[in-house]
């Protein structure tokens, strides 16, 4: 395969270290977490102690000041290990960057060091019942009343929602202005009226705590406004390309892992006295899949180079998300087929991958939305 020049020896050393962390602190517990529906908070604290949370945050806020390739390494290894319960990337590379870019000095100093240590867990609440990918139509409101906002509404499908101590909440501070009336409010665990609903039972990502959130006259201090009032939609649009790249990274790594797992399986599994790998259909199918994943990986690496240079735009990130997640679905489906009946058994990693990867075409904006973003960049549509 084509050598990956994106990573330095230091990145690869970090990869080996994180892989050991997963083997020691995560894999022995992951099945139990799947049964329960959320991971132990202790694993967050251990991740913080080992420098695996918020590595791209500046050192003054508890991070390592590292480039985002270190986070990419963790996303890839998490996907390869099938440890989908960990919500580290959302915490470290979605929530923390919002705070760093748009937060006040007081907010950054208060939250980021504790996030880096795993003392508090972050989430972002965008999706609402009946709204889905249409962020302009959120109904949750935040009404200014003197020195606080009163927040009312409901959110759903919130990753890290059950464990979260800090939730960036998308709300309308001026509904009459539509998207221009959207703001981001920092809601904290323990604020009266802020409640978690049931943990949602999902097709995949069973160990990842995904919850409903409810806001009933929650009084939030006015200084918990993130950035400027009315700028929330702009902030969301600026950060979505990186979020979509994270999904593309995980999907591509998951697809490659599926091929690697299937290669091992077909060499051992015998049918009619011969290894499944000896049949032409098996060889040709895996060759086809590997070629497609290799092309996806090259594109993802190119996009990451653009990101590091500050040149990645929304349409290109949408192309990565669209193509890599669609491809992962096809690859994992074909690999499951090559496992035969065993591929349908939950004890086999390919079954978990099949269930876990399906949502990648939905969250972060559905793939239909990705097509709309790309089409508009081509001068098509509205």
Smallest Cα–Cα separation from 102: which of 115, 90, 111, 113?
111
- 3-state SS of 297-350? HHHHHHHHHHHHCCCCCHHHHHHHHHHHHHHHHHHHHHHHHHCHHHHHCCCCHH
CATH of the domain at 302: 1.20.140.10
Tokens standing for residue 326: 């669609």
96 φ, ψ to 5°?
-60, -45
**What per-residue confidence (pLDDT) applies to 130?**
78
Whether residue 284 sits in one domain with residue 188: no
Whether 382 is in a domain gets the answer no
Q: What is the mean pLDDT of each run of 10 residues along the chain (382 residues)?
A: 86 98 97 94 97 97 97 98 96 98 97 98 92 76 96 95 96 91 97 93 93 97 97 93 97 98 96 93 98 97 96 97 98 97 95 97 94 96 72
Residue whose token pair is 């302009």: 136
Contact 126, 236 (CB under 8 A): yes
Whether residue 160 sits in one domain with residue 40: no
The residue annotated as part of the active site, out of 34, 76, 243, 261, is 243
Whether residue 110 sits in one domain with residue 46: yes
CATH of the domain at 129: 2.40.110.10
What is the pTM for the complete model shown? Answer: 0.95
**What per-residue confidence (pLDDT) applies to 133?**
57
Whether 1 is in a domain gets the answer no
Whether residue 109 sits in one domain with residue 157: no
Whether residue 138 sits in one domain with residue 116: no
Using alpha carbons only, give the angle 101, 89, 179 rounded to the nearest 5 degrees.
50
CATH of the domain at 104: 1.10.540.10
Whether residue 324 sits in one domain with residue 243: yes
243 a catalytic residue: yes
Contact 115, 63 (CB under 8 A): no
Rg of the chain's alpha carbons, rounded to an integer?
A: 21
- For 269, counting Cβ atoms within 10 Å of its Cβ (0-12 exposed, 13-18 middle, 19+ buried), the class is middle
Containing structural domain, residue 37:
9-120
Measured over the CA atoms of residue 196, residue 62, residue 81 and residue 255, the dihedral's sign is positive
Last residue of a domain, one of 215, 230, 245: 230
């Amino acid at each position: 395969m084509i050598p990956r020049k994106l990573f330095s020896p230091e990145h690869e050393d970090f990869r080996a270290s994180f892989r050991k962390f997963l083997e020691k602190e995560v894999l022995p517990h992951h099945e139990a977490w799947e049964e329960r529906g959320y991971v132990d908070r202790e694993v967050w604290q251990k991740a913080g102690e080992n420098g695996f949370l918020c590595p791209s945050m500046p050192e003054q806020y508890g991070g390592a000041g590292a480039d985002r390739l270190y986070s990419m390494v963790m996303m890839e290894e998490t996907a390869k290990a099938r440890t989908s319960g960990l919500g580290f990337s959302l915490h470290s590379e979605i929530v923390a960057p919002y705070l760093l870019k748009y937060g006040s000095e007081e907010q950054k100093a208060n939250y980021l060091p504790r996030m880096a240590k795993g003392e508090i867990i972050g989430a972002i609440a965008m999706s609402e019942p009946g709204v889905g990918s249409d962020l302009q139509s959120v109904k949750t409101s935040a009404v200014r009343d003197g020195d606080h906002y009163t927040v009312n509404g409901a959110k759903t499908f919130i990753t890290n929602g059950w464990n979260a101590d800090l939730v960036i909440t998308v709300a309308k501070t001026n509904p009459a202005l539509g998207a221009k009336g959207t703001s981001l409010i920092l809601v904290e665990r323990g604020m009266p009226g802020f409640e978690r609903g049931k943990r949602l039972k999902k097709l995949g990502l069973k160990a990842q705590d995904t919850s409903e959130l409810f806001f009933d006259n929650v009084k939030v201090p006015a200084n918990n406004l993130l950035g400027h009032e009315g700028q929330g939609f702009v902030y969301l649009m600026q950060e979505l390309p990186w979020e979509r790249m994270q999904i593309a990274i995980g999907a591509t790594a998951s697809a490659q892992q599926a091929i690697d797992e299937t290669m091992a399986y077909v060499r051992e599994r015998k049918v009619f006295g011969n290894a499944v790998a000896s049949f032409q259909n098996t060889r040709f199918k895996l060759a086809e899949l590997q070629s497609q994943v290799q092309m996806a990986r090259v594109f993802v690496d190119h996009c990451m180079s653009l990101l590091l240079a500050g040149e990645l735009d929304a349409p290109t990130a949408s192309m990565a998300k669209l193509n890599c997640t669609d491809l992962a679905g096809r690859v994992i489906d074909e690999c499951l087929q090559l496992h035969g009946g065993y591929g349908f058994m939950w004890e086999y990693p390919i079954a978990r991958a099949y269930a876990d990867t399906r949502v990648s075409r939905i969250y972060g904006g559905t793939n239909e939305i990705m097509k709309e973003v790309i089409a508009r960049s081509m001068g098509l549509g509205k």
